[in-house]
Amino acid sequence: MLRAPPDSLFPLRHIHKPNSLLRTRTTRFCCKASLITNSDSFEVGRLIGSYGFMNITSSSGSPLGEDTEYSSGDLGRLRVQDVGEGSVKIRLYDGRVSQGPLKGTPVVFKVYPGQRAGGNEADMMAANELNAHLFLQNSSNGICQNLATLVGGFETKTGEQWLAFRNHGKSSAADYAKVMSEKVSRNRAAGVWNKFEQEETIKRRRYFVTKLLQGIMRGLAYMHDHDRLHQSLGPASVILNTITERDAAYLVPRLRDLAFSVDIGYSNLEGDPGLLSEGLWRRASTAGAFTPMEKRAFGISDDIYEAGLLLAYLAFVPFCEAGIMDGLSLQRLLESTFQLDLGATREYCLADDRLLDAVKFLDLGDGAGWELLQAMLNPDFRKRPIAQAVLNHRFMTVGIL
């Protein structure tokens, strides 16, 4: 391991943001949360990987009668013509705390580029993610186990923002789905067709996915109860401590990637929305949400819609062969082909033997999965359930019984 970059001398609370509100909040919360802001307290290991964000550059009329534009995020709606890669590239590194009370604690560094490489957007995203975690971790209810835990961070002389999160695992829900779909492909290619083993595998998969969905919705419910939207919810934004299905009893999913998180406290809804949430409130206006109460309800329902797409992804991809279904194809199927008619979607999938295991999973509890999906993806945002209602739905337990 190497020590943190030698030019990393400036704690994150000193970063310069175009929005003075961010500076004020960052300074106050850093002191309150007692985060580690000295770069000498960290050691940096190997590069884990990197990723970017989608940029929506134009949009077409949606099948739901809206003409909508979407900001960067894991999964922009597919009612768009041009989807490009955003300018902000994130790097991830292994690391650990090298001194102090948390010495030896493994961490994952999330590195935002400086303004020279990523522009103001990267700076704002880093500050927004920092502020969101600090606010949520300072709740009187304690830290939610279904959210990633921020340990500290610092800024380098080149302007890079390094956020350090406790390392609870490196695999995401997307990684899990990919591994399982590849396993399905290998088994079918090898002609592995022991009926008993197949049934046991499907039971374990249903149990694992159900536990995964429960953790996701607990994390989202906690955020909404504390006036925060996620706004970038997708399979890559859920980190898992295990992807071994036999260890499902110990699975703890955690939400990460809060760079686009939005404060929906009523005082904030009456002020300047900020650049990162402009797209959300533009969509709210198009949907007829103008008052603070209506905008808050729209924002929560928008997260629920993304959670519905994630539920669909986890109900299909791990149960199908690799390449049969992916997130974007599934979203097109739901939104464009069947215009969010889940009954018609089911009939279509039922006719394809490759999708049968996914259909049977959603059929559990007398079609409880399809019922829940239809509610979460309801075209009318006012009719979508809140996160706690999703958690209480019978589909969220039927895979465990």
Residues 184 and 321 in one domain: yes
CA–CA distance from 64 to each of 74, 176, 340, 379 (Å)? 21, 32, 9, 7
pLDDT value, residue 9: 31
At residue 187, the pLDDT reads 86
* DSSP state for residue 61 in the 8-state scheme: B
Residue 33: what pLDDT?
54
- Residue 104, judged by CB atoms within 10 A of its CB (0-12, 13-18, 19+), counts as exposed
Residue-level pLDDT at 32: 46
CATH of the domain at 357: 1.10.510.10
Phi/psi for 42 (5° steps) reads -120, 155
Both tokens of residue 166? Answer: 């406790």
Q: Is residue 160 in a domain?
A: yes
Task: Tell me the C-alpha to C-alpha distance, in Å, between residue 198 and each of 195, 243, 245, 395.
Answer: 5, 19, 14, 22
Say if CB 276 and CB 71 are below 8 A apart: yes
Give 309-330 pLDDT, tens digit per residue.
999 999 999 999 999 999 999 9
Residue 393 per-residue DSSP state: S
pTM for this entry:
0.85
CA pair distance 388, 394, nearest whole angstrom: 12
Residue 44: helix, strand or coil by DSSP?
strand
Q: What is the dihedral of CA 260, 264, 265, 270, to 10 degrees?
A: 100
Q: Are residues 235 and 88 in the same domain?
A: no
The sign one gets for the Cα dihedral 215, 52, 118, 151 is: positive
Instruction: Domain of residue 358: give its range.
Output: 171-399
278 and 331 belong to one structural domain: yes
The CATH number assigned to the domain holding 106 equals 3.30.200.20
d(CA 353, CA 225): 41
Specify whether the CB–CB gap between 315 and 362 falls below 8 A: yes
| Amino acid letter for position 160 | E
- CB within 8 Å of 143: residues ≥ 6 apart: 136, 137, 149
| 18 within a domain of the structure (yes/no) | no
- Residues 258, 280, single domain; the answer is yes
The Cα–Cα gap between 312 and 105 comes to: 35
Structure confidence at residue 225 (pLDDT): 96
Give the residue ranges of the chain where pLDDT is below 70: 1-33, 53-87, 116-118, 192-193, 401
Quick one: pLDDT at residue 151? 96
Angle 87-126-230 (CA atoms, 0-180°, nearest 5)? 95
CA-closest candidate to residue 212, choices 61, 14, 11, 396: 396
Amino acid at position 380, single letter: D
50 in any annotated domain: yes
Indicate whether 214 and 339 sit together in one domain.
yes
Sign of CA dihedral 286, 287, 292, 296: negative
Asked whether the beta carbons of 114 and 122 are under 8 A apart, the reply is yes
Query: For the purposes of burial, counting CB atoms within 10 Å of the CB of 67, is it exposed (0-12), middle (13-18) or buried (19 or more)?
Result: exposed
* 3-class DSSP assignment, residue 129: helix
pLDDT given at position 83: 40
**What's residue 97's pLDDT?**
96
Query: Is 34 a member of any domain?
Result: no
Pick from 117, 149, 166: which residue ends a domain?
A: 166
Q: How far apart are CA 174 and CA 106, in angstroms?
A: 22
Among 166, 184, 213, give the residue marking a domain's end: 166
